[in-house]
Amino acid sequence: MSVQPIGSPSAIRLRFGPFELNVAERSLSKADRVIPLGGRAYDILLALLENAGDVVPKSELIARAWPDVTVEEGSLRVHLSGLRKTLGDGQFGNKYIANIQGRGYSFIAPVTPLPAARDSGDASLGLSNLPPALGRMVGRNNVILEIRRLLETEHRLITILGAGGIGKTTVALSVAHGALADFPGSVFFVDLSMVTGKEQVIGAVASAVGLAPQLVDSRAALLNFLSARRALVVLDSCEHLVERTAEIADYIFQNTSDVYVLATSRETLRVPGERVLHLCPLDCPPEQPRPTASEVLAYPAARLFAERVSARRGSFSLSDDEAPMVAEICRKLDGIALAIELAAGRAAVFGVRSTVARLGSRLDLLKSGRRTANPRHQTLKATLDWSHDHLSELERIVLRRVAIFIGHFSLEAACTVAEQEGIGRSEIEGTIENLVNKSLVVAWPSYRRMLYRLLDTTRSYALEKLAASGEHNWVAACHASYLSRSLDGTRSNLFDLEPGQSLADTIQHYLGDIRAALEWAFGPDGNDGAAIRMAAAASQLLLAKSLFMECRDWMERAIDRIGTDCDPRDQMEIHASLALSLMFTAGNSERVRDAFNSALAFAEQREDAYQQLRLLSGLSMYLHRTIDAAGSLEVARRAESVASKTGNPEDAALVDSMLGSAYYMLADHVRAPKYLERALHGAPASRRFNATQYLFDLRTTSLFNLTRSHWFAGNLDRASNYAARAVEEAEKSDHPIALCRALILTMPLYFWVDDLAEAERNLSALELTSEKYSLEPFRAVALGLRGRYLVRVGQMADGMCHLRNSLDKLRALRYEMLVTDFVSELAIGLARQNEPAEALALIDGSIATQIGSNRPLHLPALLLAKGSALLSGEPQQRDLAMASFEEAMTLAGQQSALSFELRAGLELARLWMDRGQIRKAHGLVGAVYGRFTEGFETPDLVSARRLLEQTRVRARRAG
């Protein structure tokens, strides 16, 4: 059989939009006017049209346009740009060519082949009984070509397998119409959906080929008729009579040599020689933020929707505003062609937005299809009724009960909700297999076991049956119980995934089920016990998915329902998860500390060292955020006592990280790096995230604290290396908390060394991440960092406004991270804008707070800022500035904070030089500079060398 793709003599003209491409003449016209088109542009356009709806790789387009020449991708981009301009791509709502990032290009507009007229002896005028094709298909070109290739290579029995409404009949009719030239007058379509008994199947086939129905021996007559011909017989909708249909198909196949059978079914025929082709749902646009119309229309499901809206409305151009809604419609309908067509009919009348809003009741929405279609194809409900009516009673029971699962489920899960007296596990397993064979349940291979799911449309239908059966509440209770047990069993290894497995992907399969179970447990049909168990079981998964607001809401509801008989372990999980979710969404209130302490009390009561360390590490993070250095050291010592009893090396590494963090906050830059380095050596770098220690990622924490400690100590090259590692490992952790903390606590180093480009890159990542996950404290810090950046690039007014807003938010959230940095930047800015009183009041207040709270770490930086603010005032304040720099230098020396000692020394030396004290300035800077061993290309060390040279020259001249 010959395959006739676009571009063959039987399809010499192609129409899209107002354009017509003549393949034979290699010409493009619009309204009968020839459009000039270069040879390479023509080849590129034809390659795209031949694969309309599919992505054509860049390499394939280059090979098509430059078959004997090696060119760069830039040449392709140039020709595509010119081609788009010629077509007016993007003008007046017209969209033709989409760039699919990282994959290639796709022609996304409808393309209509215009075949050359056939002569009067056309084979289609013979005995063939084909009904009209069901309209232009979208996204099925490859499938049709594959079936034609199979027919051409003598595969004589092919079954198109797929779920109801997926488009099997449409594909079969398209293949059949395309095969008329190869089977002259002998392509027959047999609609078995109207056949109700096994004995009627042979009569339906005989009638379809034109034989008289009253024949005594239909089988013999049919065989005699077909044997004399080269024929294609399409057996449509075989599933309800699959055994009898299989027998007839096998009879034809075995007793003829040139007759081909193409069957459509939701269940395979299972006869020798059968080649099965699974018809998958249409590809849908993935979830992504704000996709454009071109990006959405690159997927066939969306193109089908747009085309069917246009067919009903007269014209429809998808806008960028509507694109995310169309993508959502396609995903919710699982790429099922019939469902999408029905939804498009609704959208043509009521609009896209209304259609999205009403998709919750899918079956009510998806009615009123094409009047010309077979009755069971006119609505989705009719299609599903057809399948349901032909199920056994046990298959109906299992189907409606497993509909309680929103996502994937295992055989064990199916048995949990479907088992009852008289229905055993083996029967349920066999029934699931039958439902998979009938395309009502989809099998999904997992890395450990086979999983199953119902398409959303099928599930909506089965849920209606579940509600009508009166079993919904009992099945929902079994569903919640199963989920809470399963989650409870995976608490300790939630993050321990197989190599290459995505945490987000793993959790996503179960998140919908968990939400549904929580809603039921906390709802009127649930109970307190089920609610507490479900909330405790789900808490870590919600945190792992970074659903902090949702976790906080469920935990607060759970605490209101905790009774005296609740499991202490569940109470501990609920209090701990409330502490973490509150901390990341609402700041560092006393409620956070109280929740941690409540959880710790349960852990200590149970003498559970594992849980104590998890909770102490979370409390340590809280104290780090509030800059409670003494409290942080006390908690680290408590953890050290617990870890000494476990003997676990990872527990010891956790304690080292906590101790190192505490010593860093106490400005001990000698002891801090020792503990932090030891923590890194004790924690395996291959571990993607430390599941055993809640959300305290000890590697990221150790790396950013090492960054800051080495920076303060003057080890600037090491600090830069650790900063890069901290962000890199945080990105690999696939967790927004770890990433935000790494970005926030390494970014000040880039401001210190004037690397504003790196600061801007990291700041953009911080803003996006904190916004995406509603992490209010981190958003407040990002606001202040943006203010610092704006001040540094000369946008003083905007920068200071950002800094003020950030400080207000951080005070309300009790989040002390980087507050002193923002106070210093704002005070200097105020002084430079002739507001010295406000500047000094702001910075003196911050200094007093640090001293009163025993926070020595940031005092050198604040004293430096105070000196700079004083320098911007009256000349008589220069002595006060000098005193401030001297104090900063002395305190930095006591803390071994060599970087701050040098910066204060440089400011002081410049003042001395202004007074003619050249040798004194030289000796001061030279002594500090000589203690550096690295970082010689950073701004302060470059300035120090210049100052030393200046003082050396001036001293020589004076001598």
**CB contact set of 359 (below 8 Å; sequence gap of 6+):** 328, 329, 332, 333, 343, 365
pLDDT at 487: 84
- Dihedral, CA of residue 82, residue 83, residue 88 and residue 89, to nearest 10: -110
Instruction: State how far the Cα of 770 lies from the Cα of 744, in Å rounded to an integer.
Output: 11
Given a contact cutoff of 8 angstroms between Cβ atoms, the answer to whether 514 and 538 are in contact is: yes
Q: Determine contact, residues 16/110, Cβ cutoff 8 Å.
A: yes
Q: Which overall architecture, per CATH, does domain 837-844+855-866+875-958 show?
A: Alpha Horseshoe (1.25)
| CA nearest neighbour of 469 among 545, 365, 540, 396 | 396
Paired strand residues for 34: 29
Please indicate whether residue 276 or residue 460 has the higher confidence score (pLDDT).
276
pLDDT digits (tens, 9 = 90+) for 423-455: 888 999 999 988 888 778 888 776 567 888 887
What are the pLDDT digits (tens) for 401-422? Answer: 999 998 789 899 999 999 887 8
- Domain 140-278 is found in CATH 3.40.50.300: yes
212 vs 449: CA distance, rounded Å: 53
Point out which residues pair with 158 in neighbouring strands: 262, 275
Amino acid at 314: G
Among 145-149, 336-340, 649-653, 779-783, the least confident range: 336-340
Amino acid at 848: A
> Distance between CA 510 and CA 534 in Å, rounded?
13
Reduced to 3 states (helix: H, G, I; strand: E, B; else coil), residue 613 is helix
Q: Where are the alpha helices (DSSP H) in 626-670?
A: 629-646, 649-665
Task: Return the number of other C-beta atoms located less than 10 Å from residue 415's C-beta.
Answer: 21
The answer to whether 815 and 588 are in contact (CB under 8 A) is yes
CB 151 within 8 A of CB 179: yes
Would you say 123 and 180 are in contact if contact means Cβ atoms under 8 Å apart? yes
Domain made up of 13-114: CATH architecture: Orthogonal Bundle (1.10)
Top mean-pLDDT range of 69-73, 102-106, 274-278, 304-308: 274-278
Give the pLDDT score at 373: 47
Structure-token match 């009123």, residue found: 368
Give the integer Cα–Cα distance in Å for 351 and 610: 55
Average pLDDT over residues 209-225: 74
Higher per-residue confidence, 864 vs 424 = 864
User: Residue 364: what pLDDT?
Assistant: 53
Q: Which pLDDT value is given to residue 68?
A: 64
Whether 137 contacts 45, CB under 8 Å: no
pLDDT given for residue 755 in this prediction: 95
Where along the chain do its domains lie?
Answer: 13-114, 140-278, 293-377, 837-844+855-866+875-958
Residue 597 is predicted with a pLDDT of 93
How far is the C-alpha of 324 from the C-alpha of 249, rounded, in Å? 45
In order of 508, 701, 886, 930, the CA distances from 901 in angstroms are: 51, 26, 9, 12
Task: Check for a shared fold between 140-278 and 837-844+855-866+875-958.
Answer: no
Can you give the pLDDT at residue 378?
47
Residue 116 above 60 pLDDT?
A: no
Yes or no: say if 152 and 1 are a contact pair by the CB < 8 Å rule.
Answer: yes
Give 517's pLDDT tier (boundaries 50, 70, 90). very high
Cα-based torsion angle of the residue sequence 212, 218, 221, 226 in order, rounded to the nearest 10 degrees: 90
pLDDT value at position 911? Answer: 95
- pLDDT recorded at residue 900: 97
Buried b (16+ CB within 10 A) or exposed e, 612-638: bbbbbbbbbbbbbbbbbbebbbebbeb
Orientation angle between helical segments 73-87 and 58-65, nearest 10 degrees: 80
Tell me how far apart the alpha carbons of residues 621 and 625 are, in angstroms, rounded to a whole number: 6
By CB neighbour count within 10 A (0-12 exposed, 13-18 middle, 19+ buried), where does 222 fall? buried
Structure tokens at 72: 């760069």
User: Can you list the alpha helix ranges (DSSP code H) found in 545-684?
Assistant: 548-559, 568-586, 590-605, 609-625, 629-646, 649-665, 671-682
Please name the residues in contact with 252: beta carbons below 8 A apart, sequence gap of 6 or more: 222, 223, 226, 233, 259, 261
pLDDT of 846 above 80: yes
Tokens 């003042």 sit on residue: 911
Question: Distance of alpha carbon 36 from its chain centroid, rounded?
Answer: 44
Q: Is 852 helix (H, G, I), strand (E, B) or coil?
A: helix
pLDDT at 377: 47
Chain mean pLDDT for the chain: 85
Give the pLDDT score at 11. Answer: 45
Q: What percent of the chain has pLDDT over 90?
A: 44
At 671 the pLDDT is 94
- Per-residue pLDDT of 519-537, as tens digits, reads 999 999 999 999 999 999 9
Query: Who wins on pLDDT, 212 or 556?
Result: 556
Cα 805 to Cα 413: distance, rounded to the nearest angstrom: 51
Of 870, 853, 861, nearest to 825 by C-alpha is: 861
How many residues make up the chain in this entry?
A: 959
646-694: pLDDT as tens digits: 988 888 999 999 999 999 999 999 999 999 999 988 876 544 444 334 4
Please state, in angstroms and rounded to a whole number, the distance separating the CA atoms of residues 796 and 802: 10
57/47 Cα distance (integer angstroms)? 10
pLDDT band at 30 (very low <50, low <70, confident <90, very high): confident
Q: Considering only CA atoms, which of 418, 445, 446 is closest in space to residue 432? A: 418
Cα atoms in the Cβ-side hemisphere of radius 13 Å centred on 799: 20
Distance of CA 216 to CAs 211, 225, 245, 342, Å?
Answer: 11, 15, 20, 44
* CA 694 – CA 894 distance, rounded (Å): 36
pLDDT per position as a tens digit, 57-75: 888 888 888 776 677 787 7
CA–CA dist 161, 167 (Å, integer): 10
Give the start-end residues of each E strand in 202-318.
231-236, 259-265, 275-278
97 token code pair = 């060519």
Which one, of 298, 300, 302, lies nearest residue 325 by Cα? 302
| pLDDT recorded at residue 4 | 38
CA–CA separation, 92 and 942 (whole Å)? 58
Distance CA 567, CA 589 (A): 27
How many whole angstroms separate alpha carbon 494 and alpha carbon 513? 17
What is the band of 123 on the pLDDT scale with cuts at 50, 70, 90? very low
Mean pLDDT of 483-491: 78
Which tokens go with 583?
Answer: 């901390």
CA distance 722 to 716: 10
Residue 195 pLDDT > 80: no
More confident residue, 641 or 37: 641
Given the structure tokens 């080890």, which residue do they identify? 715
Angle at 571 between CA 565 and CA 577, to 5 degrees: 160
Contacts of 866 (CB under 8 A, 6+ apart): 827, 840, 843, 844, 847, 881, 884
Integer Cα distance of 636 and 854 in angstroms: 18
Ranges 82-91, 298-307, 702-711, 786-795: which has the least confidence: 82-91
C-alpha–C-alpha distance, residues 419 and 422, integer Å: 8
Give the pLDDT confidence of 701-745 residue by residue, as tens digits. Answer: 899 999 999 999 999 999 999 999 999 988 887 778 889 999 999
3-state secondary structure 255-282: HCCCEEEEEEECCCCCCCCCEEEECCCC
Q: What are the angstrom distances between the C-alpha of 128 and each of 134, 181, 229, 239? A: 17, 11, 12, 24
Residue 76 tokens read as 């392709």
Q: Are 944 and 902 in contact (CB under 8 A)?
A: yes
Contacts with 278 (C-beta within 8 Å, 6 or more apart), sequence order: 161, 162
For residue 911, the surrounding DSSP H or E stretch is helix 898-914
Distance CA 167, CA 36 (A): 39
- Within 8 A by CB and 6+ apart from 625, the residues are 583, 588, 777, 815, 816, 817
pLDDT at 135: 58
Per DSSP, the three-state class of 409 is strand
Burial of 937 (0-12, 13-18, 19+ CB in 10 A): exposed
- Predicted local confidence at residue 93, as pLDDT: 64
Q: What is the pLDDT of residue 369?
A: 47
pLDDT recorded at residue 309: 84
Of 2-11, 234-243, 671-680, which gets the smallest average pLDDT? 2-11
CB 3 within 8 A of CB 10: no
